[in-house]
Amino acid sequence: MTNDVTVRIADSADAPAITVVINKAFNVAENFFVEKDRLDLEEVYSLFEAGKFLLAEKNDALLGCVYIEPQLTTDTPRAYLGLLSVDPEHQQNGVGSKLMDAAEEYCRALGCRLMDIRVVNLRTELPGYYQRRGYFETGIGQFPPEIETKVPCHFIEMSKSLE
């Protein structure tokens, strides 16, 4: 259970551990269509420039993380949520939901009215998971052309009202 799991805002010193947990989670989930790591340490450091990571921890061990990037200067203040990652050894225990709840609450407190996510269409289990959390499909986006995939794919874009 997640009762003894805490969530905190990461700082740049957490970047190496964040990189490991993201790549472990994504390698298990996406190795059927992508052969490389999801990101490297430099990419994690660069994400700190625009947004924040929330970390789920238990007894000082990193169980998972999520990236949030508030966009408060738009007509409708919103945030992007991505890289939801739970160490494969701790999946299906509510850690992902705890991170989602914390990210949504954090962005709501900043004044964001919408939360945006993107999921790869090949991850067929994800749209239903997010729909049950209140997200709705808003469109389709191009998968980054610089990432070589084993099969063609695209993003399903989804949003949720935080009001």
* Contact predicate 94/2, CB 8 Å: yes
Structure tokens at 149: 């995939």
Helix, coil or strand: residue 8: strand
Q: What's the pLDDT tens digit per position in 66-104?
A: 999 999 887 889 999 999 999 999 988 999 999 999 999
Greatest CA separation for the chain: 41
Q: What's the pLDDT tens digit per position in 119-147?
A: 999 999 999 999 999 999 999 999 988 88
Q: Give the global pTM.
A: 0.93
CA angle 87, 137, 125 (to 5 degrees): 35
Number of H helices, E strands in the chain: 4, 7
Answer whether residue 1 shows pLDDT above 80.
no
Q: What is the pLDDT at residue 52? A: 97
Which domains can be identified in the chain, with CATH numbers?
6-116 (3.40.630.30)
Q: Give residue 57's identity as a one-letter amino acid code.
A: E
Burial pattern 4-34, b for ≥16 Cβ within 10 A else e, equals ebebeebeeebbebbbbbbbbbbeebbeebb
Structure tokens at 32: 């059927």
